[in-house]
């Protein structure tokens, strides 16, 4: 499992470049919904890691009209889903540069082992689901999670439609039949977490707590480390006909935020948004500072709460702490799955141990032929990666005890806030003197071996 980071990544072999680091994207997008047409100007600021005779970018399904580097017109070639821009002179290692690309076309998803990802035309709007390599379907980029950057995203679209992007809305204006929405993302963000959602969305705040919404604390019974005042602003973006159902479905979210802030440390961004589309979606999906749900995810019950909790927890595990390489995907999904069990416990439903036992029984009935710490590209989103990753964390909790376990999680998110993580860094962190456990030895049977180890009883 332990391999040096090199790009392209074998999990997404056509993506990314380690010849330079991306630092900032400045995107101006013109989206015409009627014909699903996108025209864009993208500026990428980066620093060369080694001498660059060409700047390699990912761009899928859209055609480039012209390109420049540091203000000078540059030659370019498109081959498949790669764009190569050649500056007038070699960019020396350590030098900063800015490449600008003007492009357009009718965007659509790209297809891989995980189905279709990227730009999707809805019945009445647009949805972008970028994981793992869908960013290239709407802007030229260094499309790999190791390449986090800040963003400015400006979207012009049809009047009476709202464009929802990551970050803070810093400008909004209307002219004739067009509306323009501009957002800024000031924390480093992986390209796959960048998003644009366009629809007839109504924005409502979701900050108030209703009577009886406070979580009980469940079996943990730990002292609180956060107060409601420390929580971020929350908002729902939802079509008006779905507003009442959405408000009811997301009513527990404030309690989830309190539970996760207590367990994981401060929420890593300034705000959190939940977008609910008028379309049905197979699964919800996370983005930096927001999550996207279908109208079919508003039904009452544990399944709906589980999904809301899962996507919310990705703001810590995936969006703030982002894996360096896709083989470590359990570090996003296993943590998010365990967050579901923590919310179950905190809200007075089944304890995390009971959820773990049920998950273990399900895994025991499935083939044990997957190494979840290195699942391979075809199986990286297999449910066993989620469940067994969560069980690995439960085994740590059993071994450490609640006080040390949650202290470890909070120090983990603090140490790597807005950065990158991998399996080796996690085992070193857990094995620190204050924790007194050989994490690599404890986690190996769960993550690096196919056979299912005995259930970690004791919590």
Residue-level length of the chain: 459
Report the DSSP beta bridge partners of residue 58: 82, 141
Determine the 3-state secondary structure of 212 from DSSP. Answer: coil
Average the pLDDT over 313-324 and give the result.
98
Torsion of CA 375, 379, 384, 388, to 10 degrees: 20
Per-residue pLDDT of 324-349, as tens digits, reads 999 999 999 999 999 999 999 999 99
Contacts of 305 (CB under 8 A, 6+ apart): 252, 343, 347
Query: Which of 273-293 are b and which e, b meaning 16 or more Cβ less than 10 Å from the residue's Cβ?
Result: bbbbbbbebeebbbbbbbbbb
Q: What phi, psi does 174 have (nearest 5°)?
A: -130, 135
Cβ contact 126:33 at 8 Å: yes
Based on C-alpha coordinates, what's the Rg of the chain?
22
DSSP string, 307-325: HHHHHHHTTTBTTTBEESS
Contacts of 361 (CB under 8 A, 6+ apart): none
* Domains observed in the chain: 20-117+129-196 (2.60.40.1730), 203-319 (3.30.2010.30), 323-447 (1.10.390.10)
Give the model's confidence band at 8: pLDDT under 50 very low, under 70 low, under 90 confident, else very high: confident
Give the model's confidence band at 223: pLDDT under 50 very low, under 70 low, under 90 confident, else very high: very low
Whether pTM > 0.85 for this model: the answer is yes
Per-residue pLDDT of 35-89, as tens digits, reads 999 999 999 999 999 999 999 999 999 999 999 999 999 999 999 999 999 999 9
Per-residue pLDDT of 94-113, as tens digits, reads 999 999 999 999 999 999 89
More confident call, 212 vs 281: 281
Tokens of 414: 């603090």
- Of 341, 210, 319, nearest to 271 by C-alpha is 319
Three-state SS string over 124-184 comes to: CEEEEECCCCCHHHCCCECCCCCCCEEEEEEEEEECCCEEEECCEEEEEEEECCEEEEEEE
């Amino acid at each position: 499992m332990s391999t040096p980071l090199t790009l392209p990544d074998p999990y997404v072999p056509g993506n990314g470049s380690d010849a330079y680091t991306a630092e900032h994207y400045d995107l101006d997008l013109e989206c015409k919904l009627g014909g699903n047409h996108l025209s864009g100007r993208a500026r990428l600021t980066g620093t060369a890691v080694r001498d660059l005779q060409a700047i390699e970018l990912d761009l899928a399904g859209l055609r480039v009209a012209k390109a420049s580097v540091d203000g000078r017109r540059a030659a370019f070639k498109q081959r498949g889903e790669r764009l190569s821009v050649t500056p007038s002179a070699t960019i020396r290692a350590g030098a900063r540069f800015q490449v600008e690309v003007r492009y357009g076309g009718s965007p659509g998803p790209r297809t891989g082992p995980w189905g279709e990802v990227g730009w999707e035309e809805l019945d009445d709007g647009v949805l972008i689901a970028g994981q793992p390599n869908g960013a290239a379907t709407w802007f030229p980029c260094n499309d790999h999670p190791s390449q986090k950057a800040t963003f400015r995203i400006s979207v012009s679209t049809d009047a009476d439609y709202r464009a929802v992007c990551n970050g803070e809305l810093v400008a909004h204006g209307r002219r004739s039949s067009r509306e323009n929405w501009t957002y800024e993302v000031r924390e480093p963000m992986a390209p796959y977490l960048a998003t644009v959602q366009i629809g007839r969305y109504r924005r409502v705040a979701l900050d108030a707590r209703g009577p009886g919404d406070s979580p009980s604390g469940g079996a943990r019974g730990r002292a609180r480390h956060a107060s409601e005042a420390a929580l971020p602003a929350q908002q729902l973006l939802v079509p008006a006909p779905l507003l009442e159902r959405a408000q009811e479905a997301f009513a527990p979210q404030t309690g989830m935020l309190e539970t996760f802030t207590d367990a994981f440390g401060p929420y890593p961004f300034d705000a959190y948004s939940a977008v609910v589309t008028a379309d049905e979606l197979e699964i919800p999906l996370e983005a930096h500072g927001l999550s996207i749900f279908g109208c079919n995810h508003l039904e009452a019950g544990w399944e709906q709460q589980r999904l809301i909790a899962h996507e919310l927890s990705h703001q810590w595990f995936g969006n703030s702490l982002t894996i360096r390489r896709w083989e470590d995907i359990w570090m996003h999904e296993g943590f998010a799955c365990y967050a579901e069990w923590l919310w179950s416990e905190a809200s007075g439903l089944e304890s995390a141990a009971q959820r773990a036992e049920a998950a273990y029984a399900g895994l025991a009935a499935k083939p044990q032929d997957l190494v979840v710490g290195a699942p391979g590209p075809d199986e990286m989103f297999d449910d066993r990666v989620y469940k067994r990753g969560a069980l690995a964390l439960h085994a740590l909790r059993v071994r450490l005890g609640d006080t040390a376990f949650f202290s470890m999680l909070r120090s983990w998110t603090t140490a790597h806030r807005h950065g990158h993580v991998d399996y080796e860094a996690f085992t070193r962190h857990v094995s620190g003197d204050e924790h007194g456990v050989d994490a690599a030895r404890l986690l190996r049977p769960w993550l690096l071996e196919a056979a299912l180890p005995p259930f970690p009883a004791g919590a």
